[in-house]
Amino acid sequence: MRINVLGVGFDNVTMDEAVDRGMELLHSPGTHCVVTPNPEIVEVCRENLAARQAVNGADLVLPDGIGVVKGAKMLGTPLKEKVPGIEFAAGLMERMAAEGRSLYLLGAKPGVAETAGEKLAAKYPGLKIAGTQDGYFQEDGPVVEAIRQSGADCVFVCLGAPKQELWMSRHGQATGARLLCGLGGSLDVFAGVVERAPKFWSDHGLEWFYRLCKNPWRAKRMMKLPLFLVHVRKEKGRK
Ligand code: UDP
C-alpha cells in the first residue's frame, strides 16, 4: 500500500529496498517507470491532473527529499526514509554495472549527457552507455526511435518535472527499455556541471536551503515548499 501525501502515493521503502525494487523491475518483462517527487512536484500534481496520473501510474514512487518525509510524518503515516533520486540512481548503476547492463542518458543542456556518460562509464566499470541525447529536442519520435535502436535496458529521463513524468508515461513503452527513471537535474550533477549540497546540509534536511543560496533564481519555484507544508497542515486538520 502506498502512503498518500496530498494525492501522491509514495512507496514506503528504504534506499536499499528501492534499489532492489528497481532491479526487480529491470528484470521483469515489459516497461516500468520510477519517479522521484519532491514537495515541489507534489504541489504541481495537486494542480495538474495529467502530471498526477503520470506520477501515480509509475511502478515505483520514491520520496526525493526530506520535505515529503516530514509531510508524511505530519499526516500520521510516516515513510521509512528519504530516497533521493540521485542516490537511487547511483545504487542502480552499481548493480547494473555488475550485470553489464546498458543505460541511455536523456536530458539536460547539449553536451551535458555526453560528459555525464563518460564520467559514469569510468566510475562504474561494466556499465554500458547505450547513447545520449540532450533535453531540448523538438520532436519525440526520433528520440524514441534512437533509444529503441540503442537497445538500452534503462533510461534516465532528466527533463525536469512534470515534463519527464509525462514523457515517460507517453513514450516509455515505445522505447523498448525495461526501466525509465525520472531524475530531474541528476545529469548536471553526474557531469559535474552542478554540485550537490555537501553532506552536512543534506544530513540536516537543508539541501533545499543550500540550493537556494547557490541559485537565488530558484526562490520562486521554492515558494512551493512552504505552500506544501501549509497544505499538509490543512490536510492534517481534516483528518
Ligand atoms: N531540462 C531539459 N529539457 C527541458 C527542460 C529542462 O532537459 O525542456 C533539464 C535541465 O537542463 C536540467 C533538468 O532538466 O538538467 C531539470 O533540472 P532541475 O534542477 O530543474 O530539476 P530538479 O532536480 O530540481 O527536479
Nearest Cα residue to atom 15 of ligand 1? 108
d(CA 39, CA 229): 9
In contact, 121 and 171? CB cutoff 8 Å: no
Q: How far apart are CA 125 and CA 120, in angstroms?
A: 8
Nearest protein CA to atom 19 of ligand 1, as residue: 185
- Answer yes or no: is pLDDT of 45 > 90: yes
Confidence of residue 215 (pLDDT cuts 50, 70, 90): confident
Å from CA of 203 to ligand 1 middle = 24
pLDDT in tens, 26-40: 999 999 999 999 999
pLDDT in tens, 153-173: 999 999 999 999 999 999 999
Per-residue pLDDT at 29: 97
* Burial zone of 206 (CB within 10 Å; 0-12 exposed, 13-18 middle, 19+ buried): middle
Average pLDDT over residues 53-80: 97
* Atom from ligand 1 closest to the CA of residue 187: 15
Give, using CA atoms, the residue closest to atom 4 of ligand 1.
159
pLDDT at residue number 84:
95
